[in-house]
Amino acid sequence: MEGGGSLDSQIESLLNVEKQMRLNGDVAGTKKAAIDILKLCFESRAWKTLNDQIVVLSKRRGQLKQAVTAMVQQAMQYIDETPDVETKIELIKTLNSVSAGKIYVEIERARLIKRLAKIKEEQGEIAEAADLMQEIAVETFGAMAKTEKIAFILDQVRLCLDRQDYVRAQILSRKISPRVFDADASKEKKKPKEGESLVEEAPADIPSLLELKRIYYELMIRYVTPYCAYFLICIFICLPIYYSHSNDYLEICRCYKSIYEIPAVKEDPAQWIPVLRKICWYLVLSPHDPMQSSLLNSTLDDKNLSEIPHFRSLLKQLITMEVIKWTELWNTFKDEFENEKNMLGGSLGDKAGEDLRERVIEHEAEKHLSDMVVSKALVAKVDRPTGVVCFQSAKDSNDILNSWAMNLEKLLDLVEKSCHQIHKETMVHKAALKV
């Protein structure tokens, strides 16, 4: 038998002590006896016995909540001391089964599930890891620290993205409001009022709120849909598609802008220069609208842009009301464009190249319009001072007179019909009065 007879006799003795303490309602004594049993098993490296005793102690009649909590917390300290992965998984599963359905150890169970999911992920079982994480809804845990909740949800989102489950990743990401990252940390730490539950401190390995902010926006940028089929499915089921999931360059730009505003990023040129470059690229790729115009002007006002003058000149061309020569621009920025990393699966790609050319064409639309008018492909008149284009063809005097004649004929016809209706209503009214 694992651990030998001496271990069994010591455990039996402590079980009797635990029973006495439990029946007497002695919380401290029950906790101590239960923990002593687990320590004996751990010191003897009797892992199977440890698992068995955890289950036995948790199922004893009238077992105290405090004792179960203490056992789970104590046994969690032994997870990293296990000799191999199989033993570690077995211990985690035992603790998970013991804590399942018990609100007073819900935080411990969430941490156990997270550790088990990490092991599965390291073994390449991404789908199983994602399924495990989705079992837990940490947003309902009142006693869990805010940063730990956010970190847990972000792990859920990341695993869904890894398994290409974009719809579920989107649903999970909505559990986090971006405004939570702008909260003042100094105001967060306040003494709980009487009757409120105490919030546990987050574990040491949980990132800070600003670090989580960066992780959040990096995950948002990872919404990618390379296939039109997914886009059509989303339209069919009326689901909105976000970020690079639909090549929404402006939303990606805003995500990078949020990362750029993080103090730790803005203080380090090695970090903010690559981010600012991406902001510039996605601004150029974004269709023109008021939000794009606002971000474009605010980026041009950024003093840091002087460190990358190449991109300042690129943005300047977009706000200058002059024709952009596509071939000249492409020859200037082609290498920069193709070598840009970490954007939409590596370099910007052919699709983004086509979109960039489309943005340039939109900017120089007046020239293309003028060429089409000259070639008589369409009829148009450009009023530059007012920014209005009239696409109506000029009419001669005969056409205008014919148009007026037709309009007058229609008007007289309507007047005649109106008079007829008025006369009819009058006759009906007179007949009613006579009756």
Q: Give the residue-averaged pLDDT of 244-255.
A: 73
**What value, to the nearest 5°, has the Cα angle with vertex 201 and ends 196 and 206?**
135
Find out whether 110 and 75 touch, Cβ atoms under 8 Å: no
Q: Where are the alpha helices (DSSP H) in 286-348?
A: 290-300, 309-319, 326-339
The amino acid present at 176, given as its one-letter code, is I
Q: Tell me the torsion sign for CA atoms 308, 313, 314, 319.
A: positive
* Burial class of residue 209, CB neighbours in 10 A (0-12, 13-18, 19+): middle
The pLDDT value recorded for residue 110 is 93
- Please name which of 203, 183, 248 lies closest in space to residue 222, comparing C-alpha atoms: 248
The amino acid present at 235, given as its one-letter code, is I
What pTM did the predictor assign? 0.75
Count of beta carbons in the 10 Å neighbourhood of residue 142: 11
DSSP output for 70-95:
HHHHHHHTTGGG-SSHHHHHHHHHHH
Helix (H) or strand (E) holding 388: strand 388-390
Question: What is the phi-psi region of residue 302: left when phi exceeds 0, alpha when psi lies from -120 to 50, beta otherwise?
Answer: beta
The pLDDT value recorded for residue 244 is 45
Cα separation, 97 vs 57, whole angstroms: 13
Cα separation, 44 vs 291, whole angstroms: 66
User: Given the structure tokens 């601004």, which residue do they identify?
Assistant: 283
pLDDT digits (tens, 9 = 90+) for 357-405: 888 887 777 667 777 778 877 788 877 677 677 877 777 778 788 888 8
Higher pLDDT, 142 or 52: 52
- The tokens describing 229, both together, are 């089929």
The segment with the largest mean pLDDT, out of 106-110, 406-410, 426-430, is 106-110
The pLDDT value recorded for residue 228 is 34
Find out whether 151 and 107 touch, Cβ atoms under 8 Å: no
- Please name which of 360, 304, 368 lies closest in space to residue 332, comparing C-alpha atoms: 360
Q: Could you give the percent of the chain with pLDDT greater than 70?
A: 86
Q: Give the residue-averaged pLDDT of 232-257.
A: 59
Q: What angle separates helix 349-363 from helix 365-374, to the nearest 10 degrees?
A: 70
Count each helix (H run) and each strand (E run) in the chain, helices first: 21, 2
